[in-house]
Structures are given as C-alpha cells and as structure tokens.
C-alpha cells in the first residue's frame, strides 16, 4: 500500500492520501482533540502518537495536525497507523458510522434570510469546499446576520489554525460572496 503525503498551506498539518476512499464523497469527520476521537479506531490510533493534535477525515484523505515536533519523526508512525488500519480493513467507525446530526445546532439565521443563506451555502459547496478540501480542510456555514450582512464560518481540518486562513476568508471567500450576494458585507471565522 502506498500512502501519498502532501503539504498544506498550514505548516502544522500534512495531508495523507491512502489511495482509497476514507469518508466517501462529500462526507467529513473532524477530531479537534484526543477526547473527540470517540468511535473512530483510526483517529484514536493517530492520537496515540505523541504531538498529534488534530485529525480530520475527508472523502479520500486524512489530515493530521501536529502540536509540536518534527514531521521527519512524526510521519513514520502516522503512515504506519494509517497503513495498518487500511491493510487490516478495519472499519473507520465502530458501530454504524460517524454521528451526523440531522440539523446543525450551531447553524443560525432568521427565516427571512433563508433564501440568502441557501445562496451562500450553494457557493460554499460548489466553489469553496472543494478547493479547501484539496488543502486538507473544510469550511462550514454557521450563521448569517441579515442586519449586518456578516457570514460566520467554521474552519476544520488543516484550515483550523492555518496562518493563511485569514487571507483565504477575507480576500477569497468574502470577495466572492460579496460579488454574487449583495446582502453579504463581511465573512468571519468562529
């Protein structure tokens, strides 16, 4: 089994591509700390490696964020854990799979802004999320305030804590949303 490794814009995160499906099309799972690894054997195994701070599963990749340490020393045990998991054909999650809430409890907007929110989500899903997935991360809609025009987004995977995420938010996502949706005035990370 060959696992490709790619750098990301976040110097503390590497993207590992095992050459097979991880979560599947459009699905993701974020483990911001050891306690959140829960029912995922692979995430738990990765958190056993010293200095692993965050694990993120994308459609066909795994992003690992380090708290400290040198990638030269961290990559071998990370590659070993991923290889062992997939060669043993272990399930990614115990029982039925990741816990996915039907409606995101963090998502907030007024009913009168529903049409604008659908436009925002459509642009995020078609133009933004595929691009940030290439960098080992994900961006999720959280809120839209129709009075101020501010869109709040949650950054996951390699996007969380990335030094260039502010530039991506302000110069990339904000400019695009303001161009297509006049009601949007600003974008912020939450």
The 10s digit of each residue's pLDDT in 152-186 is 999 888 888 778 888 888 888 999 999 999 999 99
pLDDT digits (tens, 9 = 90+) for 17-38: 999 999 987 788 999 999 999 8
Together in a domain, 13 and 72: yes
Together in a domain, 46 and 120: no
Q: Looking up tokens 């302000």, which residue turns up?
A: 170
Instruction: Name the residue range of residue 10's domain.
Output: 4-87
pLDDT digits (tens, 9 = 90+) for 127-160: 998 888 888 888 989 999 999 999 999 988 888 8
| Cα distances (angstroms) measured from residue 67 to each of 50, 76, 131, 132, 159 | 9, 16, 25, 21, 15
pTM of the model: 0.78
Give me the CATH number covering residue 146: 3.30.300.130
| Cα distances (angstroms) measured from residue 66 to each of 14, 71, 122 | 9, 8, 32
Nearest to 15 by CA among 72, 57, 67: 57
Together in a domain, 76 and 124: no
Grade residue 102 by pLDDT with cuts at 50, 70 and 90: very low
Q: Looking up tokens 């595929």, which residue turns up?
A: 130
């Amino acid at each position: 089994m060959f696992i490709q490794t790619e750098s990301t814009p976040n110097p503390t995160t590497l993207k590992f591509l095992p050459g097979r499906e991880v979560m599947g099309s459009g699905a993701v799972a974020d483990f911001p700390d050891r306690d959140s690894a829960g029912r995922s054997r692979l995430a738990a195994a990765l958190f056993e490696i010293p200095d692993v701070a965050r694990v993120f599963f994308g459609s066909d990749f795994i992003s690992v964020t380090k708290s400290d340490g040198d990638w030269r020393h961290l990559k071998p045990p990370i590659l070993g854990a991923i290889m062992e998991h997939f060669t043993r054909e272990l399930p990614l999650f115990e029982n039925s799979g990741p816990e996915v809430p039907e409606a995101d409890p963090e998502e907030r907007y007024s009913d009168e802004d529903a049409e604008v929110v659908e436009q925002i989500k459509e642009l995020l899903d078609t133009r933004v999320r595929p691009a940030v997935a290439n960098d080992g991360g994900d961006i999720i809609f959280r809120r839209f305030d129709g009075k101020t025009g501010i869109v709040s987004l949650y950054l996951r995977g390699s996007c969380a804590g990335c030094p260039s995420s502010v530039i991506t938010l302000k110069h990339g996502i904000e400019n695009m949303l303001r161009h297509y949706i006049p009601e949007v005035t600003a974008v912020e990370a939450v």
